C-alpha cells in the first residue's frame, strides 16, 4: 500500500470519472433510463443495466435491439436526460463519504483534481453546486460535448491532458467501469479501478494498477 501511496502522490493530476467514482449517482441514471423506457412500455432490468449501460456501454442501442423495442434510441436518450435533470435538481445525487477526504489529501499534496466524464458539464456543475458546504477542491471539468465520443474512446481523457498540458505519465485516472478503463488505456494513462456495490461482480481484461473500494483508497493515502 505504501508503494501505491507514493505512486499516486507522485502524479501531477488525478483524472476522475464522475458517476460511480466521485458521485454515487449510477442508480439515479438507472432511474432516469427506467422512466424513459417505461414510456415505451419496456421495463429495464436493473441487474442487467449496470453491465450493459455502465460497465461495457452501448446501453440504449443494445437494449432496443435485444428486446426489439419500437422506439428511436435518440428519443430515449433525450427523455432520459430530462428525467435525470429532474432527479438531480431534487438533490438526489450525493458524493461517496470518503471523497471529500481523498480530494483534500490530493490538494494538500498539490495534485490537480480534474473530472473527465461521459456526463455533460452542466449536470456535473449542478450536482457540485448542491454541495458547496463540502468545499470539494475540483480544479477542472471535462464533460461530454457535441462531437465528442463517449468512453471507451479516449477523447475525454485526451482533452483533459491537453487542457492541463500534461503527459499521460503525469496523471492517474480513477474509473469504475470497463469502458472507462479502456478509455484511460487508449490515452496511455494508468488507472485505479474503484470497486463499489454495483460493479464488484464485473471483470475486465484492461490493465489497471489497483482495484480498491473508496475506503481502501482513502486508507492507502493516509
Please state, in angstroms and rounded to a whole number, the distance separating the CA atoms of residues 12 and 6.
12
Q: Output the pLDDT for position 133.
A: 75
Mean pLDDT by 10 residues, the chain (222 residues): 90 98 97 97 96 92 93 93 97 95 97 97 96 88 94 98 98 98 98 97 97 98 94
| Domains in the chain: boundaries | 2-24+95-221, 27-89
How do beta strands 140-142 and 210-212 pair?
unpaired
Q: Model pTM? A: 0.95
| Residue 222 DSSP symbol | -
CA distance 100 to 136: 6
Q: Is there a contact between 181 and 174 (Cβ–Cβ < 8 Å)?
A: no
Within 10 A of 42 (CB to CB), how many other CB atoms are there? 17
Write the DSSP symbol of residue 42. Answer: -
Which residue, chain included where needed, has cell 487508449?
186
* The pLDDT of residue 57: 87
Which CATH number applies to 2-24+95-221? 3.40.50.1000
The three grid cell numbers given for residue 210, joined into one nine-digit string? 489497483
Which of 116, 125, 171 has the alpha carbon at shortest distance from 148? 116
**Grid cell at residue 89:** 435538481
Q: What pLDDT, on a 0 to 100 scale, did the predictor assign at position 1?
A: 66
Amino acid at each position: 500500500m505504501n508503494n501505491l501511496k507514493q505512486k499516486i502522490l507522485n502524479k501531477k493530476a488525478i483524472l476522475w470519472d464522475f458517476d460511480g467514482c466521485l458521485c454515487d449517482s449510477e442508480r439515479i441514471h438507472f432511474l432516469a433510463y427506467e422512466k424513459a423506457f417505461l414510456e415505451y412500455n419496456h421495463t429495464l432490468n436493473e441487474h442487467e443495466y449496470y453491465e450493459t449501460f455502465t460497465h461495457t456501454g452501448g446501453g440504449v442501442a443494445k437494449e432496443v435491439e435485444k428486446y426489439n423495442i419500437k422506439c428511436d434510441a435518440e428519443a430515449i436518450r433525450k427523455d432520459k436526460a430530462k428525467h435525470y435533470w429532474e432527479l438531480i435538481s431534487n438533490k438526489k445525487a450525493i458524493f461517496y463519504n470518503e471523497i471529500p477526504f481523498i480530494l483534500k489529501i490530493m490538494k494538500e499534496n498539490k495534485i490537480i483534481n480534474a473530472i473527465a466524464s461521459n456526463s455533460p458539464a452542466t449536470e456535473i456543475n449542478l450536482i457540485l453546486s448542491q454541495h458547496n458546504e463540502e468545499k470539494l477542491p475540483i480544479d477542472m471539468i471535462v464533460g461530454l460535448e457535441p462531437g465528442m465520443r463517449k468512453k471507451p474512446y479516449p477523447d475525454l481523457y485526451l482533452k483533459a491532458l491537453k487542457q492541463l498540458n500534461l503527459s499521460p505519465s503525469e496523471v492517474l485516472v480513477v474509473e469504475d467501469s470497463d469502458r472507462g478503463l479502456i478509455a484511460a488505456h487508449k490515452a496511455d494513462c494508468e488507472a485505479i479501478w474503484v470497486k463499489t456495490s454495483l460493479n464488484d461482480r464485473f471483470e475486465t481484461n484492461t490493465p489497471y494498477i489497483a482495484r480498491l473500494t473508496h475506503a481502501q483508497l482513502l486508507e492507502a493515502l493516509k
